[in-house]
Amino acid sequence: MRFYSDNTASICPELLEALVQANVGHAPAYGRDAWTQRLDTVLGQFFGAPVRAFAVPTGTAANALALAAVSPPYGAIFAHEQSHVIRDECGAPTFYSGGAQLVELRGPQGKLTPAIVSAALNANPASIHTVQTSAVSLAQATEAGTVYRPGEIAALAELAHSHGLKVHVDGARLANALVFLGCEPADISWRAGVDVLTFGATKNGALAAEAVIFFDAALARDFELRRKRAGHLLSKSRYIAAQLLAYVESGVWHRNASHANALAQQLAAHAQRWLMHPVESNELFLDLGASNRERLRTAGFGFFDWGAADSGHARFVVSWDQSVADVSALCAALDLL
């Protein structure tokens, strides 16, 4: 029973069907196909505002290309020390931006706050000798499984903008955050001041499809050239666009995330003793200790250890296709610890 990651999940039927439906004869390549041509409209409707939307196959590419649009080579990007862009992308944002530094900030529950960002700006005043802070990157949901409230994002964006910084959101699990909040996509994106956002479908049922969403078209000015140069413009672009369209139009983004979130809540109820963070999406971080981890593994549960080697922490991720039986079994096993 696998709780390793939502990356281990399969493709959901609606999205696989979308691939099959798109597989009809010839179609223009490199984004001139009918599917890609609809992305701006369909994602604009989803977010409730005009957008420029671009499809790429991975979340790392999506984040790195988005950050390259808001940071010069001599720039710096504030992000939480546990963020994917710092910990898990092998330096991709630096590579894509041509050199921008990622500056690690600490904050409780995987979140940044205006006070944290403000302190960082004050501690290192800009000069000709320093990298120039250009953006704040947030993850929604965070790498701690928590979710920023609309007001939290708005407050961060207001501070960021007042210092000339742009706001990026890593939305690899945006659907899970939206389901948890029950708000409109606009509330945690442009309406809260977000400049560029990545909207992930892969973890939530796609084969490989992420959208980079710009709410300010000026920032997207050279995106297509940067994407091509990075090898992320798919030649048979219809197949990636078709996934994104179906993800939004069929409603599977909501159904799949709701399923995963609900099962995560069920697990949380049995894991209260060990919860390191509130469970607000489809991830649980548990301070189990090494022996409990071992007992769960022996009982057949797969999951990753988390944090420092001797921490005793563990991460459990509930996927869109996780069975209720898996979760029930894990609940029972947790009760026995």
Residues numbered 271-310 forming contacts with its own copies, rule: CB under 8 A: 307-310
Two tokens at 271?
């894991």
213 lies in the binding site for its own copies (CB under 8 A): no
Task: State which of residues 36, 67, 89, 194 lies at the interface with its own copies (CB under 8 A).
Answer: 89
Residue 121 CA to residue 162 CA, distance in Å, equals 12
Q: Please state whether 257 falls in left (phi above 0), alpha (psi between -120 and 50) or beta.
A: alpha
115 lies in the binding site for its own copies (CB under 8 A): no
99 lies in the binding site for its own copies (CB under 8 A): yes
Q: Is the dihedral of CA 47, 161, 93, 4 positive or negative?
A: negative
Q: How many CB atoms lie within 10 A of CB 25?
A: 4
Strand ranges, E, within 109-205: 132-139, 166-171, 196-200
> Residue 31's beta-bridge partner residues?
none
228 lies in the binding site for its own copies (CB under 8 A): yes
Q: Is the dihedral of CA 156, 182, 202, 237 positive or negative?
A: negative
List the x/- string, 16-35, binding to its own copies by CB under 8 A: x--xx--xxxxxxxxx----
Of the ranges 52-60, 151-159, 179-187, 329-337, which one interacts with its own copies (CB under 8 A)? 52-60
Task: State which of residues 163, 222, 278, 291 lies at the interface with its own copies (CB under 8 A).
Answer: 222
Q: Of 171-210, which residues contact its own copies (CB under 8 A)?
A: 202-203, 207-208
SS3 assignment, position 183: coil
Task: State which of residues 18, 39, 70, 131 lies at the interface with its own copies (CB under 8 A).
Answer: 131
83 lies in the binding site for its own copies (CB under 8 A): no
Under 8 Å between Cβ of 83 and 69: no
Minimum CB–partner distance for residue 228 and its own copies (Å): 4
Task: State which of residues 34, 108, 236, 324 lies at the interface with its own copies (CB under 8 A).
Answer: 236
